Structure 1
Amino acid sequence: MRLQKIGILGGSFNPAHQGHREISLAALRLLGLDEVWWLVSPQNPLKSSEGMGEFKDRMASAKKITKHPRIKISAFEARINEPRTAKMLPKLIESNPKCQFVWLMGADNLVQFPKWYQWEDIMDTVPIAVFNRPGYTYRALNGPIAHKYRKNRLFPAADGKPIPQFALTPPPCWVFVSQTAHKISSTHIRNFHDKAGNTCS
């Protein structure tokens, strides 16, 4: 049996939104993935707990917005009580020996990637697909990660054809996917609802 190629989109999903779904659909289409799993974090170590929704509510928002049979919602981080990606990934791989994983992230996350716990271990563990996000593209592609791993970057074909074997490429390797350009963020959604709530009160 061939390995299942799985994209991992980790995050707080506070709340989940169409940008998350757009990245997932692009990953399925362009990277030849079988599924995308959203790993809802109980608490991102780099984010404040202030304003963070209840875990069950964030799981519910993720399930509500996916609406796709090949996008799955997972509480794996909460089950093993490990929100740090570098520590979580080896356990995820060990728990799913028939899967080959790809880490999915927005360009904004590549900009702050040097702040992640043992980020170099993550680069050495799985291929990473970085998705375009307006306002972060230049910094992502000209930042320290892109520079350090410039020889490990793969480039899609000029005609935009998929890279179906990306998940099977030995890390470190990464690719920049330009076909996504969603500006919305969870912070924007929360601020909008806060202002709407204040207006109506």
Structure 2
Amino acid sequence: MPHVERGMAVGLFGGSFNPPHEGHALVAETALRRLALDQLWWMVTPGNPLKDNHNLAPLGERIAASERLAENPRIKVTAFEKALGQSYTARTLEFVRARNPGIRFVWIMGADNLKSFHRWQDWRRIVNTFPIAVIDRPGSTLAYLSSRMARTFSHARIDEDDAATLAFRPAPAWTFIHGRRSPLSSTALRSAAPRA
């Protein structure tokens, strides 16, 4: 895990990044700025339990490509989940919290993941572990109104004007951040790639 100092506000941005693209970089930069974070951990996962990992590029390639995109020195590309031997977010977040006392973490996710978030293993535990920032993505702007997570935890939603305070709030707490969006998606990029 990247080095942190007690009292820091750190965003956790996980995904398979298969491949990473400018849309991911935009989410990371938006989160750093709007949430007033000291760091953002760009966490490249070994795989995704909810997706077909058949076309998953090797972890090393996805890390290298992510590092090329993450130009801001406050963005730390890491793949520490590989050493944990699992890829369930709820367990990863519990591990991160236990290893980093005194750090204020925020889980970062694109709005395109909000629609299916209730299918993630122990999704309620994720919401109750760290505050969550949902960053707008094309076609997903209304997910904060219609998703099961948004409805279940509507009482914990804070206004995006208060996003800079999110890291200092106890979970459950979440916000939806509107802003510039990239039309890029990993699925579309994989589909457009020439077949070998």
Question: Could you state the TM-score of these two structures normalised by the residue count of structure 2?
Answer: 0.93
Counterpart in the other structure of 1:49? 53
Q: Structure 2: state its 5+ residue gaps.
A: none
Q: SS in structure 1 opposite 2:114? A: helix
Tell me the residue number matched to 1:76: 80
Residue 141 of structure 2, aligned match among 137, 142, 147: 137
* Partner residue, 1:164: 164
The 4+ residue runs of structure 1 with deviation greater than 3 A are none
Of 77, 90, 101, which residue of structure 2 is paired with 1:97? Answer: 101
Counterpart of 1:182 in structure 2 is: 182
List runs of 5+ in structure 1 lacking aligned partners.
none
Deviates more, 1:84-93 or 1:94-103: 94-103
- Highest Rg: 1 or 2? 1
User: Displacement, 1:2?
Assistant: 5.0
Residue from 116, 127, 132 that aligns with 1:128: 132
Give the secondary structure class of the aligned counterpart of 1:42.
coil
Quote the RMSD (CA, aligned, Å). Answer: 1.5
- What is the CA–CA distance in structure 1 between the aligned matches of 2:116 and 2:149, rounded to whole Å? 9
Q: Which residues in structure 2 correspond to 1:33-44 (within 5 Å)? A: 33-44=37-48
Partner of 1:150: 154
Matched, 1:173 2:173: yes
Is the CA contact (8 Å cut-off) linking 1:108 and 1:140 kept in structure 2?
no
Show the counterpart of 2:193.
193
Number of residue-to-residue matches in the alignment? 192
Q: Letter of the aligned partner of 1:185 in structure 2?
A: S
Aligned-pair CA distance for 1:98: 3.6
Q: Is the 8 A contact 2:137 2:182 kept in 1?
A: yes
